[in-house]
């Protein structure tokens, strides 16, 4: 089957097939390799889009496994989950069935940057995810290790242009596919490290993927090496919680999914987390034993955003570092010490732990470890996540240099949708930076690449005020239904109804004028900065922090009562009112930038000295270093705000 006639430099280790599937060989529209967070979303999305899909993964019982932290969401990550949910993806719904401690982060800031987060029961998450995957129509699941890709023979006139035709398993069997999605996480040439010991593994206890890594490299993909790590797990009963700060969950819990009004567990039945800190003895042990820690000596890039305790000690010496003690599940005897990822030899890990307050008698049940693995430079994929080198081959998740379940899930849903659309010869489904954090993630990866594990933050998004967790359905559900077919009828109708109610509610609020005698009682004296005699619209009054829909409805019950009665609608109207004027301004800026995206920036522009244009020093430096060719490219530089791009655009246009 190998095309022996090809010259050696064109010869990938992938096998070649004819264009038609051999009779009797299994044949699917979409085959997804890997049952992690990217793979489950990709497989379910492709099936929801109507493609006959196969999820091929090492083990069915590890589908949905959370390899590291027992939590989902957070600042930026919660936004991604909401967007995955808006496209009818799985992780948000499964978290609402599996969480043990729900808490919204960043509450003191505006709702645009609230971070929905929950501690998750690992076992329950896996069980619920497996149930979902095994019951998804059009989705088949098979255990097996994929060793190689099957490619269609290149056309004689285009010898280097490949198209994927399927996969070859380790037992030599083949599965044909019209599109293939690779979501192999940390498994490509994965190596697990503890102390000076290193052994091949995708993660502790799992075989690495070697053949597939070789194939991708030989096909010409640019491959890099990254590393990450996980903390030791501690026996719950060996911890002295009584002397630590306790964090209780929110009451009420805020669900991740738009379709849930509540989560499966009452706040009073949820589990607490505890906070402790490292002390100087931890630094001493780490520094004295660097020679026994090969993960730290390695030059490959570790995660900047979930750094190991060793990296923190080296980068920020003599500090007390926070350690959160998080439950692994309702009936689990284990505690996950977040912030204490390490790769010291196992006996030294115990020593480190016993220096920490509350952990003086702690027992390590499983040592922490590091993993080093291949990733593929994501600049080799297009915004649909299809590779540029091999047609109909898609990459999603950690394979693209990201870290985190939510980043993987977000890419998975996009890759699954596009793998299916490609089979149906439909245009790709691309989310832009102005439409979603998914767009920010994909655009950052495909245009800038990454040299360290990439994680989502709200600061990466230029249009934070409009890309909020509360409105992800308005941004994506309707598009997902109409353009991709990945959204159920029921969800589509719900999102359409909500969108219509919001539009109607805003226009009603705008139309109601309240005399000052009515509105003055709603707003505390100190918050009022305008003439107290003027009438105001109900929308203007709702912008005040102290005012909510119930209060307004008490003043004008006839038109407003129905909006106050539905909790979700009332909360969303309040958020819309809060951001209304800032958003109008931002919408104009977005339109202005979109209209002139292709406008070329003069090559000799000296950003550091540019006069008559309002740009912060940070933005000037970023523009100076990146030297973008166009306004669109300038707008995509992380940290270059929309306001800065608009100012730059106006400057260039007047200077022309």
User: Is residue 52 helix, strand or coil?
Assistant: coil
End-to-end CA distance of the chain: 60
Q: Please, what is the minimum distance in Å from the beta carbon of residue 132 to ligand FAD? A: 15
Nearer to ligand FAD, 50 or 211 (CB): 211
537 forms bridges with which residues in the sheet? 513
- Of residues 302 and 628, the one with the C-beta less far from ligand FAD: 302
How many angstroms separate the CA atoms of 70 and 338, rounded?
Answer: 9
Closest contact distance (angstroms) between CB of 400 and ligand FAD is 8
Question: Of 5-13, 34-42, 86-94, 442-450, which segment contacts ligand FAD by CB under 6 A?
Answer: 34-42
The residue count for the chain: 656
Closest CB to ligand FAD among 58 and 636? 58
Is 398 a binding residue for ligand FAD by CB under 6 A? The answer is yes
Task: List residues bridging with 323 in a β-sheet.
Answer: 276
**Does the protein bind ligand FAD through residue 38 (CB under 6 A)?**
yes
Contact 297, 290 (CB under 8 A): yes
Among 15, 31, 36, 563, contact with ligand FAD (rule: CB under 6 A): 36
CA atoms within 13 A on the CB side of 444: 28
Nearest distance from residue 32's CB to ligand FAD, in Å? 9
Q: Is 186 in the site for ligand FAD (CB under 6 A)?
A: yes
191 lies in the site for ligand FAD, by CB under 6 A: no
Binding mask 436-475 for ligand FAD (x = CB under 6 A): ----------------------------------------
Among 46, 146, 344, 542, contact with ligand FAD (rule: CB under 6 A): 146
Does 57 engage in binding with ligand FAD (CB under 6 A)? yes
* Count of residues engaged in binding ligand FAD, rule: CB under 6 A: 39
Quick one: 169 or 448, whose CB is closer to ligand FAD? Answer: 169
* Residue 209 binds to ligand FAD (criterion: CB under 6 A): yes
Per CB under 6 A, 293 contacts ligand FAD: no
Find residue 199's DSSP bridge partners: 192
Residue list 69-88, contact with ligand FAD (CB under 6 A): 69
Our CA angle for 380, 381, 385, nearest 5°, is 165
CA 292 to chain centre: 34
List of long-range contacts for 199-204, beta carbons under 8 Å, 24+ apart: 201/371, 202/58, 202/371, 202/373, 203/67, 203/371, 204/366, 204/369
Of these, 408, 419, 423, 593, which contacts ligand FAD (CB under 6 A)?
A: 408
**C-alpha angle 476-28-211 in degrees, rounded to nearest 5:** 95
Using CB under 6 A as the binding rule, the residues of this chain from 331 to 370 that contact ligand FAD are: 341
Q: Which of 14, 21, 29, 39 binds ligand FAD (CB under 6 A)?
A: 39
The radius of gyration of the chain from alpha carbons, rounded to an integer in Å, stands at: 26
With contact defined as beta carbons under 8 Å apart, do 563 and 548 qualify?
no
Segment interacting with ligand FAD, rule: CB under 6 A, options 219-227, 250-258, 400-408, 585-593: 400-408
CB of 20 vs ligand FAD, minimal distance in Å:
25
Cα dihedral 85, 91, 97, 100 sign: negative
Residue 204 beta carbon to ligand FAD: minimum distance, rounded to whole angstroms: 7
| Residue 262 Cα to chain centre, angstroms | 23
DSSP state of 635: H
Give the one residue of 12, 21, 30, 34 binding ligand FAD; rule: CB under 6 A: 34
Alpha-carbon gap, residue 356 to 347, rounded angstroms: 15
C-alpha distances in Å from residue 321, one per residue of 260, 307, 503: 36, 11, 47
Q: Which residues of 281-290 are buried (b: 16+ CB within 10 A; e: fewer)?
A: ebbebbeebe
Contact between 185 and ligand FAD (CB under 6 A)? yes
Beta carbon of residue 56, minimum distance to ligand FAD (angstroms, whole number): 6
> 3-class SS at 253?
coil
202 binds ligand FAD (CB under 6 A): yes
Q: Which stretch binds ligand FAD (CB under 6 A): 86-94, 266-274, 399-407, 572-580?
A: 399-407
Other Cβ atoms closer than 10 A to 537: 16
Choose the binding region for ligand FAD from 93-101, 179-187, 232-240, 623-631 (rule: CB under 6 A). Answer: 179-187
Determine the residue with CB nearest ligand FAD: 36
Distance CA 506, CA 573 (A): 7
Nearer Cβ to ligand FAD (16/336) = 336
Backbone dihedral region of 292: left (phi > 0), alpha (psi from -120 to 50 degrees) or beta?
A: alpha
Give the interface with ligand FAD as residue ranges (CB under 6 A): 33-39, 56-58, 62, 67-69, 145-146, 183-187, 202-203, 206, 209, 212, 228-230, 303, 306, 341, 371, 397-398, 403-405, 408
């Amino acid at each position: 089957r190998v095309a022996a006639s090809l010259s050696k430099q064109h010869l990938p280790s992938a096998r070649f097939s004819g264009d038609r599937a051999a009779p009797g060989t299994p044949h699917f529209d979409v085959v997804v390799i890997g049952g992690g967070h990217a793979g489950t979303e990709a497989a379910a999305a492709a099936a929801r889009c109507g493609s006959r899909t196969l999820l091929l993964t090492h083990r069915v019982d590890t589908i949905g496994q959370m390899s590291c932290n027992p939590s989902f969401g957070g600042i930026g990550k919660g936004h991604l989950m909401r967007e995955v949910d808006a496209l009818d993806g799985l992780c948000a719904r499964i978290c609402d069935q599996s969480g043990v401690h729900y808490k919204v982060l960043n509450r003191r800031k505006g709702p645009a940057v609230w971070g929905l987060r929950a501690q998750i029961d690992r076992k329950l998450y896996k069980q619920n995810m497996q149930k979902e995957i095994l019951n998804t129509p059009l989705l088949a699941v098979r255990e097996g290790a994929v060793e190689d890709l099957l490619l269609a023979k290149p056309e004689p006139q285009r010898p280097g242009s490949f198209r994927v035709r399927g996969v070859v398993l380790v037992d030599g069997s083949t599965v044909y596919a019209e599109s293939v999605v690779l979501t192999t996480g940390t498994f490509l040439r994965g190596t697990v490290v503890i102390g000076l010991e290193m052994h091949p593994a995708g993660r502790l206890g799992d075989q690495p993927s070697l053949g597939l890594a070789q194939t991708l490299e030989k096909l010409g993909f640019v491959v890099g090496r990254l590393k990450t790590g996980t903390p030791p797990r501690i026996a719950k009963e060996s911890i002295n919680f009584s002397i630590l700060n306790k964090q209780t969950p929110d009451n009420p819990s805020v669900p991740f999914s738009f379709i849930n009004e509540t989560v499966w567990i009452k706040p009073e039945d949820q589990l607490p987390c505890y906070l402790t800190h490292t002390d100087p003895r931890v630094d001493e042990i780490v520094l004295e034993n660097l020679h026994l820690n090969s993960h730290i000596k390695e030059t490959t890039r570790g995660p900047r955003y979930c750094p190991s305790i060793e990296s923190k000690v080296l980068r920020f010496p003599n500090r007390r570092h926070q350690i959160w003690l998080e439950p692994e599940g309702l009936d689990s005897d284990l505690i996950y010490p977040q912030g204490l990822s390490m790769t010291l030899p196992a006996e030294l890990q115990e020593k480190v732990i016993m220096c920490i307050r509350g952990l003086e008698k702690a027992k390590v049940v499983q040592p922490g470890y590091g993993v080093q693995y291949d990733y593929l430079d994501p600049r080799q994929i297009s915004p649909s996540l299809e590779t540029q080198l091999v047609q109909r081959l898609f990459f999603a998740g950690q394979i693209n240099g990201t870290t985190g379940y939510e980043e993987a899930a977000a890419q998975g849903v996009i890759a699954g949708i596009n793998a299916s659309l490609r089979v149906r010869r439909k245009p790709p489904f691309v989310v832009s930076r102005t439409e979603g954090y998914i767009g920010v993630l994909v655009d950052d990866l495909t245009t800038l690449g990454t040299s360290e594990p990439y994680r989502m933050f709200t600061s990466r998004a230029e249009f934070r005020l409009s890309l909020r967790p509360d409105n992800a359905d308005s941004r994506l559900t309707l598009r997902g239904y109409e353009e991709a077919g990945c959204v159920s009828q029921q969800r589509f109708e719900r999102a359409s109804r909500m969108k219509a109610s919001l539009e109607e509610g805003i226009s009603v609020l705008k139309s109601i004028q309240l005399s000052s005698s009515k509105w003055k009682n709603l707003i505390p004296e100190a918050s009022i900065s305008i003439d107290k005699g003027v009438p105001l619209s109900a929308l203007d009054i709702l912008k005040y922090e102290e005012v909510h829909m119930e209060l307004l409805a008490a003043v004008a019950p006839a038109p407003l009562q129905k909006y106050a009665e539905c909790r979700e609608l009332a909360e969303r109207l309040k958020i819309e009112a809060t951001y209304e004027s800032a958003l109008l301004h931002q919408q104009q800026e977005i339109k202005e930038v979109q209209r002139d995206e292709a406008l070329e920036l003069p090559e000799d522009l000296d950003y550091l000295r540019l006069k008559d244009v309002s740009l912060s020093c940070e933005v000037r430096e970023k523009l100076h270093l990146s030297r973008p060719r166009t306004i669109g490219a300038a707008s995509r530089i992380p940290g270059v705000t929309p306001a800065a791009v608009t100012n730059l655009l106006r400057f260039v246009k007047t200077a022309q």
